[in-house]
Structure 1
Amino acid sequence: MDANAPSLTAPPPAHSPEDALALAERHFGRTGRLEPLASERDLNFRLTTPSGESFVLKIGNAAEPAVVVEFQTGALLHIAARDPALPVPRVVRSLDGRTGVPLPGGEILRLMSWVEGHPMHRVASGPALRRSLGTTAARLARALEGFDHPAAGHELLWDIRNAARLRPFLHTVTDARLRDLAALWLDRFEDEIAPALAGLPWQVVHADLNPHNVLTDPMGRAVTGILDFGDMVRTPRACDLAVAASYHADPVRPLETLTEVVAAWHSVLPLTGGEARLIPDLIAMRMVLTVVIAHWRAGLYPGNAPYILRNVPSSGAGLAALTETGRGAARRHFARALEIRE
């Protein structure tokens, strides 16, 4: 196990809905109906008040350091000031003005505004949606420019720059072919990709724009919301684009579908030559992270395995397709599509 990732191994908080509702009323003056929301590490509820207003009540994992929670909250406040139109949760302060309330068990209680939309994982990924994802993700990265915090450099297993730490967990991948692909890419990461990361632009990014954290309009054509800032970290900026794009690789035509996300980002926040060269590798590495970490955590929590493994099929298929395409061909394709000289 990774000693630097206790929140990945600690069980979620165990408060009952009745306890959670009492906490919401005591600290935020809100009451109403609670609906549980899926989460790997925290305990989240949708709170709907008698007037029909909705919020997200979050009880954080006690293993998450308080400074990391403060980091996440500070980022949301920064985004609200830099790009108020971005559809992200807004921080609701407690009755005494705090952005988070420490609980006796070590958890931190927070209240966020509810963001409307349909979960992206429930709609088909089409060209319009992929372009909307790219532009929205770039706006979010641009809104986070200049934001910093003492916890921004915290160690996160999901951070692409830490991919080499996955080796002890490779054996948990039950599909031998997929396990071999992951091992191949880990070799490439250590030999070629990791040494190149220092030369890229770095900043705080969302770092987890997977389809369960993105909302769309009813037709699935445009992004209407971005959720869950729990994996934010300071890392190469292009890693955020890699995460977002990695779930949209059609195995039949991976480069074409990925380009729709990447080119849309590039139109808002132009990639440097180094970023453009590495983006196919970074996309592949996010797929490796998804496959390996999900299998490892599913073994830890078999009762929650279906949720934990939800993104593995698409990531595994995308990784196989990118591997077959070849790194050279992928780099040439993106260079032409973005009109960047190799």
Structure 2
Amino acid sequence: MAHDLDAAIRAALPEAAVLSAPPAPVQPDEAADLLRQHYGLTGQLQPLSGERDANFLLAPAGGGARCMLKLSHPDEDPLVADFQTQALLHLAATDPDLPVQRLLPDRQGAASVRIQDAAGRTRVARVFSYIEGLPMPQAPRSSAQRLNVARMLARLDMALAGLQHPAGARELPWDIQRADRVRPLLVHVTDPARRALAEAALDGFEQRAKPRLATLRRQPIHNDFNLYNLLVDPAATECVAGILDFGDMVQGPLVNDLAVAASYQIDESSDALASIAAFAAAYHAVSPLQAAETALLLDLVRARLSMVVAISGWRAAREPDNAPYLLRNNAVSWARLAACAALTPEQVQSAIHAACRLSTPEPLHA
């Protein structure tokens, strides 16, 4: 029965195969040899956690700024890694002051290099600058911090505009454009009330948002602006000091990036409507939103939250030893889904437009 279920899920969400691929660790001595051979770098290596890639922090011998070695998973298409590489190069040219990692070239001046690991598998190796800062989940939360996250995302999206890459059209598991594909994963949600909550969110996405996605502005987006991918200044925790992990980038509707970020910033214990509206208004102040985007934002936010609980629940069932890490956003995502359940797209659009001091347009009818 379990085998049949896995087969059905793979058929519905084939792009999720990379998420269920077994780990492909790299030994520190292998990483040290690679750094020495290709980058001329030596020093003290420390393994870092990573969902798919093998990562190491290097403290260079003789001092100097720390850097990070990243080795892509062998099951990941090198084209996906190149999308991330080109995005960082593009950002260095369009907004060099953005707090993102910078690529350190190898001895031949290349931004990345393909290597064969100890098992003979092809992987993409890159070395990044290391951004110092406090991970946002370890910092106090505040309304000022939330608004600064929205402003930073808007600035990032403006800097990404104009980037073109063939990997942008690839189907990736965390793409809201295909949120309805996670519905079979909800079989792992044993609580009927919770499952109904997620299914209702996916229903709203299918009925109202999905048919209109093709009409919205499109560009490359970060697609994973969650707290674990953001650093803050330890001395001023309302300030965003670093943006990490471009591994889930896609070419998609611009508003999807806002929806992803907003889904992690909802104050589930307070007024969800007010927090969504304030977050969207802060984004709008830097990068103006269009009426068609504000009309769909609620359904896109709820779709993202449904994806979080569906994909994390499925992966935790498959990888029980890694369940605490996989489910780290699960409980709060259910709370946020519940906080948004009674809201309507019209309410959210009106609240956003009021916060932006814009007139509310006529509602879009299904």
TM class, shorter-length? over 0.9
Q: Distance in 2 between matches of 1:126 and 1:259?
A: 16
Q: What TM-score do you get using the length of structure 2 for normalisation?
A: 0.90
| Partners of 1:176 and 1:138 in 2: CA distance | 37
Q: Percent of aligned pairs with the same residue?
A: 42
Match in the other structure for 2:83? 71
Distance in structure 2 (CA, Å) of the matches to 1:108 and 1:13: 13
> Equivalent of 2:143, from 127, 143, 146?
127
Which of 318, 321, 333 is the aligned partner of 1:315?
Answer: 333
Spell out structure 1 runs of 4+ moving beyond 6 A.
none
Alignment match of 1:87 (pick from 99, 116, 125): 99
Q: Establish whether residue 220 from structure 1 lines up as the match of residue 220 from structure 2.
A: no
1:16 counterpart residue number: 27
C-alpha deviations, 1:79-136, integer Å up to 9, x for none?
Answer: 1100000000111111122222212212111111111111111123211101110110
* Residue pair 1:71, 1:152 contacting (<8 A) in 2 also: yes
Of stretches 251-260 and 279-288 in structure 1, the one that deviates more from structure 2 is 251-260
- What is the letter of the counterpart of residue 18 of structure 1? D
CA distance in 2 between partners of 1:103 and 1:300 (Å): 30
Q: Deviations over 1:132-178 (max 9, x none)?
A: 10110001000000101111111011010010110121112244322
Question: AA paired with 2:251?
Answer: R
Is residue 177 from structure 1 mapped to residue 193 from structure 2 by the alignment? yes
Residue pairs, 1:40-55, within 5 angstroms: 40-50=51-61, 51-55=63-67
Matching residue's letter, 2:83:
F
Alignment partner for residue 160 of structure 1, among 159, 176, 197?
176
> What are the equivalent positions in structure 2 for 1:109-258 lying under 5 Å apart?
109-218=125-234, 219-251=236-268, 252-258=270-276
**Aligned position for 1:107:** 123
Q: How many Å apart are 1:340 and its aligned residue?
A: 4.1
TM score, norm. by length of structure 1 = 0.96
Q: Secondary structure at the match of 2:87?
A: helix
Deviates more, 1:277-286 or 1:167-176: 167-176
Code of the residue aligned with 2:304 in structure 1: it is R
Q: Aligned equivalents of 1:277 and 1:187: distance in 2?
A: 16
Name the structure 1 match of 2:3. none
In 1, Cα distance between equivalents of 2:51 and 2:189: 19
After TM superposition, the structure 1 = structure 2 runs for residues 220-299 of structure 1, keeping only pairs within 5 Å, are: 220-251=237-268, 252-299=270-317
Q: Which runs of 5+ in 1 are unaligned?
A: none
- In 1, are the aligned partners of 2:71 and 2:126 still within 8 Å (CA)? yes
Provide the C-alpha distance between the structure 2 equivalents of 1:202 and 1:122, rounded to a whole number of angstroms.
Answer: 33
Q: 2:346 aligns with which of 318, 322, 328?
A: 328
* CA positional deviation for 1:272: 0.4
Partner amino acid, structure 1, of 2:239: A
Larger mean Cα displacement after TM superposition, 5-14 or 109-118: 5-14
Could you tell me which residue of structure 1 aligns to residue 110 of structure 2? Answer: 98
Distance 1:303 1:36 in 2: 19
Is contact 1:68–1:151 with CA below 8 Å preserved after alignment? yes
Q: In structure 1, how many angstroms separate the alpha carbons of the residues matched to 2:273 and 2:347?
A: 9
Q: Distance in 2 between matches of 1:340 and 1:117?
A: 40
Do the aligned partners of 1:13 and 1:59 also contact (CA within 8 Å) in 2? no
- Quick one: which amino acid aligns to residue 268 of structure 1? V
Alpha-carbon distance, 1:286 to partner = 1.1
Which whole-Å deviations, capped at 9, do the CAs of 1:160-198 have from their partners, x for residues lacking one?
Answer: 001011012111224432221111111121121100111
Q: Is the 8 A contact 1:125 1:248 kept in 2?
A: no
AA in 2 matched with 1:28: Y
CA contact (8 A) 2:297 2:345 kept: no
Shift of 1:270: 0.2
Of structures 1 and 2, the larger Rg is shown by 2
Cα distance in 2, alignment partners of residues 247 and 107 from structure 1:
31
Give the whole-Å Cα distance in 1 for the aligned partners of 2:191 and 2:244. 31
Q: Is the 8 A contact 1:204 1:234 kept in 2?
A: yes
**Worse overlay, 141-150 or 329-338:** 329-338
8 A contact 2:205–2:300 mirrored in 1: no
Distance 1:142 1:203 in 2: 10
Gap change, CA 1:340 and 1:244, over 3 Å in 2? farther
Aligned residue pairs total 342
Q: Could you tell me how far apart the structure 1 residues matched to 2:290 and 2:198 are? A: 27
Q: CA deviation at 1:199?
A: 1.4
- Give the stretch that moved more between structures: 24-33 or 58-67: 24-33
